[in-house]
Structure 1
Amino acid sequence: MPPNPTVISHTLPPTRQIPNSPLPLLHYPSLLHDLVTTPTFQPTHLLDLYTQHGWQTQWIAKYGPDIPSHYHSTTHECMTVISGSHATIRFGVADGEEKGGGGVEIKAQLGDVFIVPAGVAHKTFSPEPSSSGLAFYQPEDIAAGRAWEVGAEREGKRRRFFEGVELKGEFMMMGAYPYGGVWDFAVGGEHAGREEEVWRVPVPDKDPVLGDSRAGLVGLWEGKSHASLT
């Protein structure tokens, strides 16, 4: 892990359809490149890093040409590029809103880490190598909304599930949430007039990758509140 990681932050104000957040979107370019490009890399190596800092791996996704823009109103999210070359991720706007400007597009590359605050819209598209469709890998209990059920036996079964996910060079990301976080899938307008409900999602104690380092969310999210958006 580099001692002084590069961190790029973007504070995205609400739109007519998307709450976004007073907490900045955090992008750590190539932070885990060395890890994910080692010949022996397995997704569980990253799972263990997340777990060490209080974040739970819940999915691995292989991306197709496009997915709907969406946000999570109930939890913050970490995404790490673990395979493939690159893709574009658009943050901060609902589908259709990008035509009026706003939001930010980032070229996501191997080893990049993104920490997405609750409420911030995101969509991944145009992956390289190109792929015909989305494949989403989740343990059955997490897919059923029971991520909040934890314990050594249950986490062991989930770990074994991720041991079986193969990386074949296509663009893939791995997603994690603070333990106890169960995510929803909102596409825009669901929290119009109620944005503060999303902004109140508690800030986790540690960064999923940088732990308690103030170079990560521990320092960059400290003291942020919804007042900065009003």
Structure 2
Amino acid sequence: MSVTWPEQYALSSSTHVPNNILPALIYRDVLPVPVNPELSKRLCEGNGWEKRGEWGEITIPHFHPNTHECYAIIRGSSRLALGRSKEHDAMDGIEVNIRTGDVIVIPAGVSHRSIESEKGFRYIGVYPKAAPRWRNNHCEGDEPMDALCLEISNVPIPDSDPVFGTNGPLCQIWKSARSRTRVKI
């Protein structure tokens, strides 16, 4: 399969959502055909990511400060809100459409939720193999932002892209984003 460069979405922090200097990535129509959970799992696990669940629409805004997360869309479509808490839906972040065959990689700290989904929408959730079990924060401001930002900044960049492996664009894009933010003394 030839490497497809993903869409990139940089998201600024907001009142209750730290987001991340690493952009969210969307790869369009990259899952093996026929699109199903087993082939999608095989692709991602062959590239150093691990399936840890299969879900449908999740409408509660949340983020994971301790791990990056990847959705491989196996059925249907959904409109996602990224980078915002529910009460600030019109003010911060972005909305993106995802559909069967797409893969979205959500950096640690970036909030996400489904706004609306087609009936039967399903995805598998995959995580870097060395990542801890995800921890949910529901964007309510109940944790100090500076502590969250420190935790998020310590989540390592994965060694491999979930779709294209070690030579895939994720590592290059994220290393470049992180190096641009480092202060040189």
TM-score normalised to structure 2 length: 0.88
Structure with a larger share of its residues in strand: 2
1:42-61 alignment runs, 5 A limit: 42-61=36-55
Listed as ranges, the gaps of 5+ residues in structure 2 are none
TM-score normalised to structure 1 length: 0.72
2:171 matched residue in structure 1: 218
Whether 1:13 and 2:12 are equivalent positions in the alignment is yes
2:82 matched residue in structure 1: 91
User: For residue 14 of structure 2, what is the amino acid of its counterpart?
Assistant: T
**Any conservation in 2 of the 1:6–1:29 contact (CA below 8 Å)?**
no
Query: How many Å apart are 1:93 and its aligned residue?
Result: 0.6
1:125-164 alignment runs, 5 A limit: 125-129=115-119
1:153 matched residue in structure 2: none
1:23 matched residue in structure 2: 22
User: Displaced runs of 4+ in structure 1, greater than 4 A?
Assistant: none
Inter-partner Cα distance in structure 2 for 1:62 and 1:23: 25
**Residue of structure 2 aligned with 1:180, choices 108, 124, 130:** 130
Inter-partner Cα distance in structure 2 for 1:47 and 1:223: 28
Per the alignment, do residues 72 and 191 of structure 1 end up closer, same or farther by CA in structure 2, a change over 3 Å counting?
A: farther
Query: How many Å apart are 1:178 and its aligned residue?
Result: 0.7
Per the alignment, do residues 191 and 59 of structure 1 end up closer, same or farther by CA in structure 2, a change over 3 Å counting?
A: farther
User: For residue 157 of structure 2, what is the amino acid of its counterpart?
Assistant: V
Q: Secondary structure at the match of 1:11?
A: strand
1:152 matched residue in structure 2: none
Inter-partner Cα distance in structure 2 for 1:125 and 1:173: 15
Inter-partner Cα distance in structure 1 for 2:138 and 2:19: 12
Per the alignment, do residues 56 and 125 of structure 1 end up closer, same or farther by CA in structure 2, a change over 3 Å counting?
A: same
After superposition, the CA RMSD in angstroms is: 2.0
Greater shift after overlay, 219-228 or 13-22?
A: 219-228
Residues matched between the structures, number: 179
2:62 matched residue in structure 1: 70
**Any conservation in 1 of the 2:36–2:74 contact (CA below 8 Å)?**
no
- Identical amino acids, percent of aligned pairs: 29
Structure whose alpha-carbon radius of gyration is higher: 1
Q: Secondary structure at the match of 1:222?
A: helix
Q: Secondary structure at the match of 2:146?
A: coil
Query: How many Å apart are 1:74 and its aligned residue?
Result: 0.7
**Any conservation in 1 of the 2:3–2:164 contact (CA below 8 Å)?**
no
Inter-partner Cα distance in structure 2 for 1:47 and 1:201: 23
Query: How many Å apart are 1:122 and its aligned residue?
Result: 0.2
Q: Secondary structure at the match of 1:219?
A: helix
**Any conservation in 1 of the 2:10–2:23 contact (CA below 8 Å)?**
yes
Listed as ranges, the gaps of 5+ residues in structure 1 are 130-169
Inter-partner Cα distance in structure 1 for 2:182 and 2:54: 33
Inter-partner Cα distance in structure 1 for 2:16 and 2:65: 13
